[in-house]
Structure 1
Amino acid sequence: MTAIILLLVFAVTICLSVPVAAGLGIATAVTLVLDEIPLFMMVQRMMTQINTFTVMAILFFMLSGEIMCKGTMTEKLISWAEALVGHIRGGLAIAGGVAAGFFSALSGSSAATCASIGTIMIGKMEQRGYPRDYSSGVIASSGITGIVIPPSVTLVVYGVVTGTSVRKLFAAGIAPGILMSAAMCVLSYFISKKNNFGQIQEFSLKKLWETTREGIFVLIMPAIVLGGIYGGVFTPNEASVVAAVYAYILTKFKDKALPWKVMKEVLLKSIVNTAVVLFVMQTAAGFSWVLTNARVPHLLGELSASLGDSKVIFLILVNLLLLVTGCLVTGSGAVSILAPILLPVAVGYGIDPIFLGALMIVNLSIGYITPPVGVDLYIAGSIGKVPVENVIKHVMPYLILLLVLLVFITYVPAFTMFLPNLMK
């Protein structure tokens, strides 16, 4: 009964458009009052959740992403990607996917990736003969890798709430993220070829060399950050600071694009966004604690057992739960709520916590292009000045492809775990 009350109150807050963090807190507080449990228990859980050094990485990865949006890094990435694949049918759509993949490895955010790449690419694609609706759809789809490819802020959140190694989680996000990005680029090629979208430009080795030389400091940034982590040079926390400092140096001194007035805005936005994530993590901690005390993990295990007591059935249930949740709650919030509940059940089935984290992130990334929340849908629609319904229409082929890839990632765990296992 406790769990039902909790979920009903939370559902009501969502329907009333109450922010997720506040909705989680209200639902938890109401349930505790009705069950006559002291509210200080909720406060205690909230403070314990973020009482870890790892949360520092969230702020600095967000700061890094915000700084990069202010300079010419995105333009350099896109110019390089266009020089690389612009001679292929659908080359500019593919270039958008390639640039989004690289930007994901710099920002750790799906929304930032979609907004940064979309601001430049959607208009450019229209000039090259791509329908604006399609351009918005392909950029929205490409942007979802922002929370999969490390350094993903959502993976950091999973690491914090489950006590799992962020270093290994980052390794687990690499293969699925690259697969998703590459597969969407291939699909863009076939869609463009079928519909005769876009103009093909002549391949120029000289232009590729020039754009590579111009963007080399941006292109090597993922290698510096991730290479430093896996080479044992610095921890993920230290890597977040390195990323922010590196982005600042490039933007401030090379691009000359970060005056103090703009930097203050960047700092404020990063702090506010980090505060939102931490508040969600805190209120979700109380929410998950109530569900755990109501024996919800045990009930999930019993439900899975009643349907066959197999890992296959359990993973189907997990995917369905995460896909539905991703339609309503964005990545960090969903992870904060569900990870503590799903983890003990998953471990009981012999599922590695690292793999579960990667699987959760892949599922929840799909939610960024799934109504009604679908953050990337609204960002791309707003940038492209097209109705969201039109964006959804062109996102559908990519959504179907991603669901197929999800099945592969779910039932071929060795693909995801290859890199993390090398670190043992």
Structure 2
Amino acid sequence: MTFALGVLPVLLLALGFPVFLVLLTAAAVALTMFMDVPLAALHQTLYGSLDAYSLLAIPFFIYAGELMGRGSVARRLVAVVQAGAGNMRGSLGVTTVGATAVFGAISGSSAATVATIGRVVLPEMRRAGYPVPFSAGLVTSVGAIGVIIPPSIPMIVYGAAAQESVPRLYAAGVFPGLLIAAMLALYVYVQARLQGFAPGEPSTLRNFMVAMKKGVWAMGAPFIILGGIYGGVFSPTEAGGVACVYSALVTRIVYRDLSWRQVLKVAEASAALTAQILIIIACASVFSWLLTVNQVPVMVVGWLQGLELSSWMILLAMNVLLLVVGCFFDPLSAILLLSPLLVPIAQAAGVDGVHFGIILTVNLAIGLFTPPFGLNIFVAQSVLKQSLGDIYRGTMPFFLIYLVALGLITYIPQISMLGVQLLLRQ
């Protein structure tokens, strides 16, 4: 059994097999060679893992984000934030952080945020004289906020895997996301003062109101989505459906960015992306089920309890593990693989399941821009035409900022739970 669940997956990954195929192969080998279980259990678990109402939100938010990303929404968001930033030093960098946070509250996808916002701000940052590594690192790393600020697809998956409330996870993600955004904006401002980045154009109330008038429909999306969830109007899954309708109406009828044919093309592309995500979820769920059936989580918890580690040391060890895993696995696969192992450990250490979900999400968000396999790095390289060397050098300062934020979020649970108390009155 150790070979099937431990050695074989590592071997297949080293050979370059896709993650879903690695997990499915390991599960099939374990069932056929090491367990006296009918093979039909494999099929039942594959399909049963997708029979979760909360997972319906994934295709909805993907489609809404794709619609907004294909049109002029990103450009209008950047214009509104930039008008608010005014002529302060580093205003364009601060605008990048703010626009990313707002767009992340629409799409829930880090890669889509990097590609969409990056296309708008990178040319402007070049013209303003920002160093290439700095601008590349900023755009690549700030996109990770897109999976921390709700709506977040990884949080939906964690909620399904750990049986936690998605609305509570969304509420808990608000202040950690804003904390990281504030720390990144402060760093950009300090660097702008030290390196003499060009200030932005002076902003007047009239300019701000003009930008807001042009971008009010784009700014309305996160308010409708999050306001509806926290106001009890609809569930996160229903919010995804509302976001789809709203995005289609805004991009097609209000802004006229897309034709109806293009709207359907976006739906086709979103369906393909959804299929890629769901097949990973299904295969990872089978692998996680096998770990649970073979009592691996129980054994790991017992082993850790035998070491008599304090809670802060357990959290530190889990953070290190998650940071390493995030360098090699995408967040969804990592969540489904590690939740059965780590959630019982966190509960044994007295950590709230929602708080741990935020810790897990922030760790894996950092992995999105960490070498060697950070998804945001490849998006920035291919879509934004940035070199790997510039990206690697540029992301290092931001990596350290995220680590500081992770430490605060891990050991000060009130940062996460305050959102639950204020937004959901719990």
TM-score, normalization by structure 1: 0.96
Q: Is the 8 A contact 1:161 1:336 kept in 2?
A: yes
Deviation for aligned residue 1:71: 1.3
How many residue pairs get aligned? The number is 423
Single out whichever of 33-42 and 411-420 deviates more from structure 2.
Answer: 33-42
Deviation for aligned residue 1:145: 0.7
* Structure 2 partner of 1:23: 22
1:340 aligns with 2:340: yes
Secondary structure of 1:328's partner?
A: coil
Q: Distance in 2 between matches of 1:131 and 1:381?
A: 16
1:176 aligns with 2:176: yes
Deviation for aligned residue 1:152: 0.5
Deviation for aligned residue 1:304: 2.7
Q: Distance in 2 between matches of 1:312 and 1:303?
A: 17
Q: Distance in 2 between matches of 1:210 and 1:243?
A: 25
Q: Is the 8 A contact 2:115 2:384 kept in 1?
A: no
Deviation for aligned residue 1:310: 2.2
Q: Distance in 1 between matches of 2:107 and 2:209?
A: 25
Q: Is the 8 A contact 1:104 1:149 kept in 2?
A: yes
* Structure 2 partner of 1:78: 78
Q: Distance in 2 between matches of 1:13 and 1:195?
A: 47
Write out per-residue CA displacement over residues 1-21 of structure 1, whole angstroms, 9 at most, x where no aligned residue. x24532322122222222211
State the AA in 2 paired with 1:172.
Answer: A
State the AA in 1 paired with 2:412.
Answer: V
State the AA in 1 paired with 2:154.
Answer: T
TM-score, normalization by structure 2: 0.95
Q: Is the 8 A contact 2:284 2:337 kept in 1?
A: yes
Q: Distance in 2 between matches of 1:345 and 1:40?
A: 31
Q: Distance in 1 between matches of 2:371 and 2:303?
A: 28
State the AA in 2 paired with 1:21.
Answer: F
Secondary structure of 1:220's partner?
A: helix
Single out whichever of 167-176 and 202-211 deviates more from structure 2.
Answer: 202-211
Q: Is the 8 A contact 1:64 1:107 kept in 2?
A: yes
* Structure 1 partner of 2:5: 6
1:94-243, aligned counterparts within 5 Å?
A: 94-243=94-243
Q: Is the 8 A contact 1:347 1:353 kept in 2?
A: yes
Secondary structure of 1:47's partner?
A: helix
Single out whichever of 286-295 and 393-402 deviates more from structure 2.
Answer: 286-295
Q: Distance in 1 between matches of 2:350 and 2:6?
A: 28
1:211-360, aligned counterparts within 5 Å?
A: 211-360=211-360
Secondary structure of 1:203's partner?
A: coil
Residues 143 and 365 of structure 1: is their aligned pair in 2 closer, same or farther, counting only changes over 3 Å?
A: same
State the AA in 1 paired with 2:409.
Answer: I
Q: Is the 8 A contact 1:49 1:161 kept in 2?
A: no
Structure 2 gaps of 5+ residues are none
Q: Is the 8 A contact 1:149 1:174 kept in 2?
A: yes
State the AA in 2 paired with 1:240.
Answer: G
* Structure 2 partner of 1:408: 408
Write out per-residue CA displacement over residues 326-378 of structure 1, whole angstroms, 9 at most, x where no aligned residue. 11111111111111222222222222111111111011000011011111112
Deviation for aligned residue 1:303: 3.8
Secondary structure of 2:223's partner?
A: helix
Q: Is the 8 A contact 1:28 1:287 kept in 2?
A: yes
Residues 263 and 274 of structure 1: is their aligned pair in 2 closer, same or farther, counting only changes over 3 Å?
A: same
Deviation for aligned residue 1:26: 1.2
Percent sequence identity over aligned pairs:
34
Write out per-residue CA displacement over residues 299-332 of structure 1, whole angstroms, 9 at most, x where no aligned residue. 3223433443322122112111211111111111
Q: Distance in 1 between matches of 2:252 and 2:51?
A: 33
